[in-house]
Each structure stands twice: as structure tokens, then as C-alpha cells.
């Protein structure tokens, strides 16, 4: 960005617009009302509380702005670069509209004050004339607007001094204490006054045109807050000394009437309203320009219309049209509170951005102006509380609007070219959770399958991915593995390409899974090592899922691997998927009961399957065989006890049958079932004979003690 664009310093670029935005009509028309109801002592408390929130937000702004090179867009830029384009846009769009509507709000405030002196004038016409003049100033460029702001600033200071310098500064005794009514209490007065200090974001709206934003923004904003707070304090003290509380609460023009230079006070009101209008008509188009450049709104809206200094001239025209619409309506009472809510949500977002960036952004968050995360996060919470105090109705409405915009932008999937703190936030939360989990007492009470899926190319074995995804509903962690056999030097580029494809596959299918691609010299030797190393702490993988092997060496290789995994306390699943039968109508799951450990795991997996939409109406059937009728009865009771402990609703049936008749029994009793779960505890020949059934079958081998019962 050239020097002709980076041309404003701390005073003209930040301090003056911030002061002009804070000094509004509340200073001139509501200071007496505040002191009249709250008394001087409570008024000072209100001022201090308001300034605390404002100072915290200013500190957060300073912290964020000194951690990055600040571009065009002010608050939107800071939030989007901290929390992402969706969060920035969710705040930025309402903020821009609020800024544009605020132009109309302050122009109407100016014309209403003119009507006190010239009641016969047409207010709407006058407002449109003033709006048009200011629009021309903003269209010409920020240089002219800043010069005009400095002139207005001088006039505003003179008007304040004209009220403060002469007369008494000793408060009346009756004005020291509050005079609340049932309708107007401390928090009501606080809600009326607080918007008076919500102007600090005006100073960073020119962020893209400041010479050194990292220095200009903190210095200008904090100096402006300190200066305006001192002026408000002096005005409160002076007001408490000039009239009794009845007159203070009833006479909105008390400052003019008690000033020896009333027309200078009038000029102060005009300066306050016009300066705020000018600040927003200059700042709002820059917010729109930043939104457009990032693609949040159509990029054409950032068009400079021939400006050599990249002035947002099209944004100025659009802002003019929005403001003119509201000026023509003649009143802003219906939207004034919502405008305040959006500005406060901006405060909350700034504080939250600074807080989480400080908390989670290390080592990349290294601002020159450091603020503890507790301070910023406290400011965010306090801002939400103030929103509720001001309007319990408008607060949730404005919050709902911002959430809706966020969700819309998330679906829009805007591509951003910068990194933000979200990954840092998630990383910190994950690290915190892992350390807490690692320090917790060892227990198998909350076991869930963390599954390694050896899927190879997932396009060829999507049935494996589907099964893993269903079992992942048990809040387990699913990882898709593609294991390459060969030399790492020869396969490294292939590995990277396969990894990208695997990640893209997971994204397109919407699967909650991770991707892993490993290069090994020998599949059967490396796989147990991979199984031991995969995972972190108590989130280590505990289950392996394989596709059904062909006969011969491949089958023997898989069984050797499973035997080694079992020694390592890793459970194994083998899915034989029948491409013709599939899963039928998902109406039933049959479990062939075996030894207790396998049976418990199979019932548990069947219950997890029922958590999925496809299987939620399915019934679970448990079949079991024993050598004799008496043993079959005992086995029946044992299986019923397991099902009860696992909270599994199942139809259980046992019968006396020799092991050699297992395949015949399955063919007879499970012919119509959608999926069969069978214990992987017999020889390969039996497994292959069972696999000949025209049904999809999940073979299960449990190798670890785990507490699956619901206690």
C-alpha cells in the first residue's frame, strides 16, 4: 500500500474521530438527566463502569492490532483475521448496516436541534441536504473529511469549555444522592448513558489509511478514552452544581440555559451530531470495501470508481442510499436499540478475539501491546451482560441475526487467503482435554471403539468406510489407513498425493474420520507396530477393521496380524460384505454368541449400529448353541444377563447343537437378517464356510477387558 494511502497519524486518524464519535448528544442533552436521577456519586459509578468496559475493549483492540499488519476494514479486519472470515462477516455485515443507519440517525439528530431554533423548516428536506453534502465530502476522499473533522473537533471543544469554565463547581447537596423512581433505577440510567461511550471503533475504521496502525490505534484510542472520560466527569460535577434535581431531569436544554454562551452549546450539539454523521459516512464504506474484497459480499461493491487512492466511492454511494432511506422514514426509534446491540456485539467479538488469541495463539500471537486473556474474556462477558441490561428483547434478536449470518457464510464456504486463530483455539482445547484425560483415573468404564480402518483405496472399499462410520457413532475415533509397501524414497510423493485424495474423500463424503498414509517395507510386520504407535494417550486406537481376505496366503497373513494385535490388547473386526445382499432393509442384526468377551462386544457394537439413522428401527437377535439341552438353558440365562447389563433389547434363542452344525443353523435361523455378527474364534476354514452365506457378516474378536455394562 503506497504512502499516498497510508497518510493519517494518531491525532487525525484515530484520536479525533474517536472523540467526535464518543461526544454525542448524550453529553449535551442527557448529562443533567443522568445526574438528576442517579446523583453525582452514582453518576460517577455509572461513568466508571462504562469506562471499564470501554477501556477493556480498547486494550483488546490494541492487543490485536499490534499483532498483525492491519489493513482496510477496521473492526471487521481485526475480527476476520483473528476468528476467520465467517465470524468477521457475521459481525461486519450488521456493523456496516448499523454504521450506515447511524449516519441517518445523527443527521436527523442535527436537524431536530435546528428545529428548536427554526420550527417552521422542513426537517426531512434539511436532513437530505445535509446528508448529500456529507456524502460529497466522503466521495471526494478521506483527506477532505479529516480536515472537516478537525474543524468540527475544535468547535466542539470550544462549546464544552464555554459550559465548563464559568460558574460554580460545588455540587448541590441534594444532587449528591440518587432520586430514583419505581420506573427509573440505577440500571435504567446506566442503560441510557452507556451508548455515550460506544464510539471507540470509529478510530480504527480508517485502519487501512493509517501510517502505523500498530502504534496509531492503541495510542489514539486510549488517549481519546481518557480525555472523554475526564470531560464527562467534569460535566457531571458542573451539572450537579447548577440546578436542583427536579430541573435536571425535566429540562433537556439545561446546559444551554446555564451557559453564558448558549449558542456555543448549540454549536456543540450540532458539532456532536454532524461529526458522528461524518465519521460514519467515512468509516462505513471502508467496512463495506473490506467485506467486498474478502468476498463476503459481492466484490464489485469495493469498486473505487476511478479513485487513485482506492477510496471506496461505490460504498459511499450505497451508504448514502441506505441513510437516505432511513432519513425519509423520519424516525429511527424502532432501530436505534438494535444499532446499539450490534455495536455492543462488536465489542464482545473484539474482546473474545483478543482473549482466545492470547489464550490459544501461542507462539504466533505476540502483540507488542500485551493484555491478559482473562481481562479480554471478562470484557466479552460484561458486554453481553450490558446488552441484556439495555434491552432484554433486542439483545437475543441481534444475536440471532449474527448467528444466522455466520451459518450462511459457513455454508457459502468463502475461501480465505490468510490464517486465523481458530486452529490454535482447537489445538489448545484438544491439548487441554488430552492432558486432563491422561491425568484421570484409569478406567474401562467409558470404552468406545477407536477404529483403524485398513481401507486401502477407499473408492474400492466404501463398504468398510460405511461400517466404520456407523461404529463411530459410539463417539469413537475413526482413522482411514492406506498402507504402501516399498521404499520411502520412491513412494514419498505418491504418499502425499494419496493422502490428499484420502482427505478429499473424507471431506466429500462428510465422514467424521482422520486420514493416515504409511510407507512400510512389510505389511504384516509393520501393521502391529502402526497399531501400537497410532493415537495419543488414552485416545490410542484399540480396534482394527479389515476387509475380508481372499483364500491362501493373504488370509493367513491377516490371521497372523490379528493374533499379534490380540497380544497387544487390540480388538479386530473383519467385514465380509455381500455386494448382492448388502444390508437388506436394515431391519435386523443377528449375533451368534460365543465366549463371553466376544458376545459382550458384539452386543455393544449392535447397540452402536442402532444409533444410526439406517439402523434405528432394526431389531437385535442373539443366537447361541450348546452341547446339551441343559447347557443351552444356562447359556440362555447368561445371554439374557449380558443383554440386560448392556441395556440391549434383543430376542435371544439358544439350542443344543454341535459346532459342526453352526453354518447350517445360521443358514436356517439367520437367512433373512440384514447383518450377521460372528465371533472370530474359530479356524479359517469355518470362517470361509460361514462367509459363503449370502449375507454381509462382521467377524469380531475381542482381546481386551473392558467395562461395557451400563451401571
**The pLDDT of residue 419:** 62
Q: Is the separation of the CB atoms in 324 and 316 below 8 Å?
A: no
**The pLDDT of residue 240:** 94
Q: Is the separation of the CB atoms in 236 and 44 below 8 Å?
A: yes
The phi and psi torsions of 3 (rounded to 5 degrees) equal: -65, -30
pLDDT bucket at 6, cuts 50 / 70 / 90 = low
- Nearest-CA neighbor of 372 among 66, 63, 65, 67? 63
| Residue 3 clears pLDDT 50, i.e. is over it | no
**The pLDDT of residue 391:** 86
Q: Whose grid coordinates read 468496559?
A: 53
Q: What is the pLDDT of residues 206-242, one digit of tens each?
A: 777 788 888 888 999 999 999 999 999 999 999 999 9
**Run of H or E residues at 641:** helix 629-645
Q: Do 10-412 and 581-711 agree at the fold level?
A: no
**The pLDDT of residue 169:** 83
CATH architecture designation of domain 10-412? Up-down Bundle (1.20)
| Residue 1 clears pLDDT 70, i.e. is over it | no
Q: What is the pLDDT of residues 65-97, one digit of tens each?
A: 888 777 777 888 888 888 888 888 899 999 898
Q: Whose grid coordinates read 450490534?
A: 342
Q: What is the pLDDT of residues 522-542, one digit of tens each?
A: 887 888 888 888 887 778 889
Topology at the third CATH level for domain 444-577: Rossmann fold (3.40.50)
**The pLDDT of residue 124:** 86
**The pLDDT of residue 5:** 63
* Distance of alpha carbon 98 from alpha carbon 103, whole angstroms: 9
Distances (CA, A) of 662 to 79, 601, 626: 65, 20, 11
Could you tell me what percent of the chain has a pLDDT over 90?
34
**Higher model confidence: residue 482 or residue 333?**
482
| Residue 496 clears pLDDT 60, i.e. is over it | yes
Q: What angle do CA 54, 59, 63 make, to 5 degrees?
A: 150
Q: Is 466 exposed, middle or buried (0-12, 13-18, 19+ CB in 10 A)?
A: middle
Q: What angle do CA 653, 654, 660 make, to 5 degrees?
A: 130
Pick from 52-56, 188-192, 419-423, 677-681: least confident: 419-423
- Nearest-CA neighbor of 206 among 185, 220, 223, 188? 220
* Ranges of each domain in the chain: 10-412, 444-577, 581-711
If you average pLDDT over residues 363-381, what whole number do you get? 86
Residue 646: partners with Cβ closer than 8 Å, 6 or more residues away: 600, 603, 604, 607, 708, 709, 710
**The pLDDT of residue 711:** 46
| Share in percent of the chain as helix, strand, coil (round to 5) | 65, 10, 30
Neighbours of 400 (CB within 10 A): 10
Q: Is the separation of the CB atoms in 180 and 48 below 8 Å?
A: no
pLDDT bucket at 256, cuts 50 / 70 / 90 = confident
Pick from 41-55, 413-427, 461-475, 580-594: least confident: 413-427
* Distance of alpha carbon 107 from alpha carbon 100, whole angstroms: 11
Residue 557: partners with Cβ closer than 8 Å, 6 or more residues away: 523, 524, 549
Neighbours of 271 (CB within 10 A): 25
How much is the pTM?
0.71
**The pLDDT of residue 474:** 64
Average pLDDT along the chain:
86
- Nearest-CA neighbor of 401 among 85, 97, 191? 97
**The pLDDT of residue 385:** 92
Q: Note the residue count of the chain.
A: 711
**Run of H or E residues at 621:** strand 619-626
Pick from 241-245, 275-279, 359-363, 382-386: least confident: 359-363
Helix (H, G, I), strand (E, B), or coil: what is residue 165?
A: coil
User: With the C-alpha atoms ordered 76, 82, 88, 90, is the resulting torsion angle positive or negative?
Assistant: negative
- Nearest-CA neighbor of 172 among 245, 264, 241, 101? 241
Topology at the third CATH level for domain 581-711: Rossmann fold (3.40.50)
**The pLDDT of residue 173:** 93
pLDDT bucket at 44, cuts 50 / 70 / 90 = very high
**The pLDDT of residue 545:** 94
**The pLDDT of residue 700:** 95
| Residue 2 clears pLDDT 60, i.e. is over it | no
**The pLDDT of residue 533:** 86
**The pLDDT of residue 33:** 93
Q: Is the separation of the CB atoms in 95 and 370 below 8 Å?
A: no
Q: Is the separation of the CB atoms in 65 and 370 below 8 Å?
A: no
CA count, 13 A, side-chain hemisphere, 445: 6
Q: Whose grid coordinates read 438353558?
A: 633
Amino acid at each position: 500500500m503506497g504512502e499516498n494511502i497510508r497518510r493519517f497519524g494518531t491525532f487525525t486518524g484515530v484520536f479525533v474521530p474517536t472523540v467526535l464519535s464518543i461526544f454525542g448528544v448524550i453529553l449535551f442533552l442527557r448529562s443533567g438527566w443522568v445526574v438528576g436521577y442517579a446523583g453525582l456519586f452514582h453518576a460517577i459509578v455509572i461513568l466508571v463502569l462504562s469506562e471499564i468496559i470501554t477501556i477493556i475493549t480498547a486494550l483488546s483492540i490494541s492487543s490485536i492490532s499490534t499483532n498483525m499488519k492491519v489493513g482496510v476494514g477496521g473492526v471487521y479486519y481485526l475480527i476476520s483475521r483473528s476468528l476467520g472470515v465467517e465470524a468477521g462477516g457475521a459481525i461486519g455485515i450488521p456493523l456496516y448496516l448499523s454504521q450506515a443507519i447511524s449516519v441517518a440517525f445523527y443527521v436527523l439528530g442535527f436537524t431536530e436541534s435546528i428545529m428548536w431554533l427554526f420550527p417552521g423548516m422542513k426537517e426531512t428536506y434539511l436532513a437530505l441536504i445535509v446528508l448529500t453534502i456529507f456524502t460529497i465530502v466522503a466521495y471526494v476522499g478521506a483527506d477532505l473529511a479529516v480536515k472537516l473533522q478537525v474543524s468540527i473537533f475544535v468547535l466542539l471543544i470550544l462549546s464544552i469549555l464555554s459550559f465548563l469554565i464559568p460558574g460554580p463547581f460545588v455540587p448541590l447537596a441534594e444532587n449528591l444522592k440518587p432520586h430514583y423512581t419505581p420506573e427509573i433505577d440505577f440500571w435504567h440510567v446506566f442503560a441510557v448513558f452507556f451508548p455515550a461511550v460506544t464510539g471507540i471503533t470509529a478510530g480504527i475504521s480508517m485502519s487501512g489509511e493509517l501510517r502505523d496502525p500498530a502504534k496509531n490505534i492503541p495510542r489514539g484510542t486510549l488517549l481519546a478514552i481518557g480525555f472523554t472520560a475526564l470531560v464527562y466527569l467534569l460535566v457531571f460535577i458542573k451539572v450537579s452544581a447548577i440546578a436542583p434535581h427536579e430541573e435536571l431531569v425535566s429540562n433537556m436544554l439545561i446546559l444551554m440555559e446555564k451557559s453564558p454562551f448558549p449558542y456555543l452549546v448549540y454549536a456543540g450539539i450540532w458539532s456532536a451530531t454532524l461529526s458522528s454523521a461524518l465519521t460514519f459516512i467515512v468509516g462505513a464504506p471502508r467496512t463495506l470495501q473490506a467485506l467486498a474484497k474478502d468476498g463476503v459480499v459481492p466484490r464489485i461493491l469495493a469498486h473505487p470508481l476511478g479513485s487513485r487512492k482506492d477510496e471506496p466511492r461505490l460504498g459511499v454511494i450505497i451508504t448514502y442510499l441506505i441513510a437516505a432511506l432511513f432519513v425519509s422514514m423520519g424516525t429511527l426509534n424502532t432501530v436505534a436499540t438494535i444499532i446499539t446491540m450490534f455495536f455492543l456485539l462488536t465489542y464482545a467479538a473484539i474482546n473474545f478475539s483478543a482473549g482466545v488469541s492470547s489464550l490459544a495463539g501461542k507462539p504466533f500471537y505476540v502483540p507488542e501491546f500485551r493484555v491478559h486473556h482473562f481481562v479480554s474474556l471478562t470484557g466479552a462477558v460484561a458486554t453481553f451482560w450490558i446488552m441484556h441490561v439495555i434491552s432484554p428483547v433486542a439483545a437475543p434478536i441481534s444475536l440471532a441475526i449474527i448467528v444466522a449470518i455466520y451459518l450462511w457464510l459457513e455454508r457459502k464456504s468463502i475461501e480465505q487467503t490468510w490464517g486465523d486463530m481458530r486452529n490454535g483455539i482447537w489445538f489448545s482445547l484438544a491439548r487441554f482435554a488430552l492432558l486432563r484425560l491422561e491425568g484421570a483415573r484409569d478406567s474401562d468404564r467409558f470404552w468406545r471403539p477407536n477404529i483403524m480402518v485398513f481401507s486401502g483405496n477407499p473408492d474400492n472399499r466404501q463398504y468398510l468406510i460405511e461400517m466404520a462410520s456407523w461404529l463411530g457413532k459410539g463417539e469413537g475415533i475413526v482413522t482411514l489407513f492406506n498402507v504402501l509397501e516399498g521404499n520411502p524414497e520412491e513412494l514419498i510423493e505418491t504418499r502425499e498425493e494419496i493422502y490428499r485424495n484420502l482427505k478429499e474423500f473424507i471431506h466429500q463424503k462428510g465422514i467424521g474420520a482422520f486420514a493416515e498414509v504409511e510407507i512400510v517395507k512389510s505389511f504384516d510386520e509393520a501393521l502391529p507396530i502402526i497399531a501400537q504407535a497410532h493415537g495419543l494417550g488414552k485416545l490410542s486406537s484399540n480396534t482394527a477393521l479389515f476387509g475380508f481376505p481372499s483364500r491362501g496366503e493373504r488370509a493367513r497373513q491377516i490371521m497372523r496380524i490379528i493374533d499379534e494385535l490380540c497380544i497387544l490388547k487390540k480388538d479386530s473386526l473383519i467385514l465380509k460384505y455381500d455386494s448382492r445382499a448388502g444390508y437388506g432393509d436394515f431391519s435386523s442384526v443377528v449375533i451368534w454368541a460365543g465366549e463371553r468377551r466376544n458376545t459382550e462386544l458384539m452386543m455393544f457394537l449392535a447397540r452402536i449400529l442402532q444409533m444410526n439413522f439406517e439402523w434405528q428401527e432394526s431389531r437385535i437377535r442373539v443366537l447361541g448353541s450348546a452341547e446339551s439341552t441343559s447347557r443351552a438353558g444356562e447359556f440362555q440365562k447368561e445371554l439374557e444377563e449380558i443383554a440386560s447389563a448392556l441395556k440391549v433389547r434383543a430376542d435371544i434363542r439358544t439350542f443344543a447343537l454341535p459346532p459342526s452344525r453352526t453354518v447350517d443353523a445360521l443358514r436356517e435361523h439367520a437367512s433373512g437378517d440384514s447383518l450377521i455378527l460372528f465371533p472370530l474364534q474359530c479356524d479359517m476354514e469355518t470362517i470361509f464356510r460361514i462367509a459363503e452365506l449370502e449375507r454381509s457378516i462382521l467377524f469380531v474378536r475381542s482381546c481386551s477387558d473392558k467395562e461395557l455394562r451400563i451401571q
